[in-house]
Amino acid sequence: MSFQAPKGTFDWLPPRSEQVLAVREALVAPVRRAGYGYIETPVFEDTQLFARGVGESTDIVSKEMYTFPDKAGRSLTLRPEGTASVVRAVLQHNLHNGQLPVKLWYSGSQFRYERAQKGRYRHFWQVGAEALGSEDPAIDAELIVLAAQGFASLGLREVRLLVNSLGDQTCRPAYRAALQEFLRGLDLDEDTRARIEINPLRVLDDKRPEVQAQLGGAPLVVDHLCAACKSYHEEVRALLTAAGVAFEDDPRLVRGLDYYTRTTFEFLHGGLGSQSAIGGGGRYDGLSEMLGGPPLPSVGWALGVDRTFLAMEAEGLIAEAAPGRVQVYGVALGDDARRRMFLLVHELRQAGVSADMAFGGKGLKGAMKGADRSGARFALILGERDLAAKAVQLKDLTTAEQTEVPLAQVVDVLKGKVQ
């Protein structure tokens, strides 16, 4: 019997797995430079955290959660996103009683039972950043700039940034009512009509052409913003412009999670087909209260690492030729030589030189093939005769030049050559 990875999941294997690690690191480097601290939360949480935080009416909560009872009968859910967990952790540990904003970043697996297709997986990786406890357009702008920097540092050129404001509790209710009134007059199926009553903004996001065709005259949230939301949004936009970050206003940008207020944004990439969002986020001023905490106006984002990698592939930014696994590869012939090589490889690694060796008693030819495949610049060849002479053959695999080096000196010689 042989097993396959579950539907909607896949394995990252070398050398791509190394490349995706580098992508993760590059995406979070800007937030680390901006003073965000690392947070790690559990992969599963109380189901109610997401039900209340992300919102019962969202697709995520209504049909995509991996929910299961534990052995004591508690309902747990594999995290579908990171924001609710971060807010929970901040409240639980009273971080919000210290200096504000609390700035945190994370990196980890997320789980959503989605219809699997290219760029849409059931297990995927996000990096995220959240700034909790400040209502200041500069922090919204800072986060957007830092995400844009992360994508730019990877060399991505075809990234579009869409921004919008969803208003707040002052202006949103009137907008919602106006939108509902407009939508009720359209020719829509029963499910969509039900959505008008629960979450009318999501109807704007309906991708079906027959729905889109009717939405031309829909009221737009930008035309309904109260004075405070309007000036807040103008300031975010002005700061983005000052920082030289290009963006497009998208008055129809709606996000798939319920907690957003005011600023929302999404990064799109043209090379991904229908799953074009490589990152998104926004302000969530009411989430803390929804989770039983005090008012804690906050903003954040999450970037999809898998999709960012696909975007890089689409732009030809992932090198085909894998970088060498190690710098030095040992080839030993005979049992005594193999024991000595085992030690030598250990000494090289301790000296900071990456090294591997042929295992499994291969002959010279097979072992040299291993050396080539490892991508190493140098091979060390040790036969019984070399061992007796306390020497080793050092072969430069790019020039095929071979020299004899005393065993006692070879670590220093190689240290000098690989640096």
Interface residue list for ligand HAM (CB under 6 A): 81-83, 112, 114, 120-121, 124, 126, 128, 130, 256-257, 277-282, 284, 300-302, 304, 306-307
Q: Where are the alpha helices (DSSP H) in 55-171?
A: 59-63, 83-92, 137-153
Q: Which is nearer to ligand HAM, 307 or 340 (CB)?
A: 307
Q: Which is nearer to ligand HAM, 167 or 282 (CB)?
A: 282
Tell whether 74 is in a known binding site. no
User: Which contiguous run of DSSP H or E holds residue 279?
Assistant: strand 277-283
Q: Which is nearer to ligand HAM, 143 or 337 (CB)?
A: 143
Q: Which is nearer to ligand HAM, 45 or 81 (CB)?
A: 81
Q: Shortest Cβ distance from residue 130 to ligand HAM (Å)?
A: 5
Q: Which of 312, 241, 389 is nearest to 381 (CA)?
A: 389
> Which strands form 378-382's sheet, in the order they lie side by side?
355-357, 328-332, 378-382, 391-396, 402-406
CA distances from 174 to 185, 249, 259 (A): 17, 22, 18
Name the closest residue to ligand HAM (Cβ). Answer: 304
Q: Which of 57, 107, 104, 100 is nearest to 79 (CA)?
A: 107
Q: Shortest Cβ distance from residue 211 to ligand HAM (Å)?
A: 21
Alpha-carbon distance 412 to 405, whole Å? 10
Tell whether 284 is in a known binding site. no
Q: Shortest Cβ distance from residue 280 to ligand HAM (Å)?
A: 4
Tell whether 255 is in a known binding site. yes
Tell whether 259 is in a known binding site. yes
Provide φ and ψ at 347, rounded to 5°.
-65, -40
Q: Shortest Cβ distance from residue 114 to ligand HAM (Å)?
A: 5
Alpha-carbon distance 311 to 279, whole Å? 12
Q: Shortest Cβ distance from residue 83 to ligand HAM (Å)?
A: 4
Q: Which is nearer to ligand HAM, 10 or 182 (CB)?
A: 10
Residues making up the binding site for L-histidine: 81-83, 112, 126, 130, 255, 259-260
